[in-house]
Amino acid sequence: MTRARRCLLDVGGTFIKCADGRTVPIRSDGSREEIVAALREALGPGRPDAVAVAIPGPFDYARGLFLMKHKFAAVYGENFRNLVGLPDDLPLVLIHDVNCMLLGALHRGVAGSAQRVALVTLGTGLGYAERLDGVLQCNSLGSPAHPIWSAPYRDGIAEDYVSKRGIMRLWTAVSGLPWPEGRTVKDLALAASGKESCPDFPSEEAREAFAEAGRCLGEILAAPLREAEMECLLVGGQIAKSFALMEPSLRAALSHLPSLRHIAVLPNLDTATFDGLLALLA
C-alpha cells in the first residue's frame, strides 16, 4: 500500500517551512515568477495526495485569494491553486498562520478542558487568535476575528511595544542606549538570562527590558481577555522561547482577571503550525 503524501507548508515572508524538514527561501517582495517558483519548489515533485498551507493575511482563505499588499503584492488577487498549478480535484486547505498554531495546540490537548482559549504569538509581529466554546473566532475572510497588533497603545500601537522591534525599543527606553548593530533579540535574552555575558547588553537592563515587555503585553491583553472571559492564555512565536523573562510581569498585569486560570508557553512551540495543518487534513 502506498503511503499518502500530504504536503504541509508554513509560508512566511522570507522562508517557506516544509513539514519534511526543508526550508525554501521566498521573497515576499519579489516578482510573480519568483514567488511562484518558490511555492512550487516547496510543494516538491510529483502530485501530493493533499496540500495544507498556513499563510498570513490578509487572504481570502475560502476562495484561496492573495489579498496582501505589504507582502506578495506581485500576486495580489490571484488564486493559490491556479498560481501553483494544483489540479481542481486535489484537496487543498488554506488557513491563517496564527489560527493554525492555535488549532495545533488544541489538537495536542495543550489547553486541557478550557473552553475559552487565546493564543498570542510574539515574533516579528504580534498575533492573536481565540477559540470560544469550541469555535475558532474568524472574520469573514478567515483571519482572526479580533487582531490586537494595531490596537492603540501608549504613543503608538501594540506591536510597537511587544514584538521584535518592540523589545528593541524597550531596551533603548530602559537602558538609554541605542540598539547595537548586528545584535538580535535572542542575544538580549541570553544576556538577560545570564547564559551569556554580552558587553552590549548589561544583564540588569536586559532583564528589565523583558519585564517591561511582559507588563506591556499584560496591559494590551487585559481588555480582550476580560471581555471574552478567557480561561487559558497560550504563548507562541520565536520570542516565546524567552517567555520566562516576561512571565512574572505578565502574570502580575493579568492577576485581576478572575476567569484566567492558566497561562503557558506552547510545549509544541516549533511544531504547532504543522500540528494544526495535520489536524485540518485528519
* Amino acid sitting at position 57: G
Predicted pLDDT at 242: 95
Dump pLDDT digits (tens) for 263-275.
999 998 989 999 9
Place of cell 520566562: 244
Place of cell 487559558: 232
Predicted pLDDT at 5: 84
Place of cell 475558532: 136
Residue 4 has pLDDT above 80, yes or no: no
Dump pLDDT digits (tens) for 108-149.
899 989 999 999 999 999 999 999 999 999 999 999 999 999
Residue 3 has pLDDT above 90, yes or no: no
Place of cell 485581576: 256
Measure the N-to-C terminal CA separation of the chain; round to a whole number of Å: 19
Predicted pLDDT at 232: 98
Place of cell 512574572: 248
Question: Within its chain, how far is the Cα of 271 from the centroid?
Answer: 12
Q: Where are the beta strands (DSSP E) in the chain?
A: 6-11, 15-18, 23-25, 50-54, 59-60, 65-66, 92-95, 116-122, 126-132, 135-136, 152-153, 156-157, 232-236, 262-265
The three three-digit cell numbers of residue 129, written as one number? 487568535
| Cβ-proximal residues to 188 (8 Å cutoff; 6+ apart), any chain | 167, 171, 201, 206, 209, 210
Domains of the chain with bracketed CATH: 6-95 (3.30.420.40), 99-267 (3.30.420.40)
Contact 38, 25 (CB under 8 A): yes
| Cβ-proximal residues to 215 (8 Å cutoff; 6+ apart), any chain | 249, 250, 252, 253
Contact 199, 188 (CB under 8 A): no
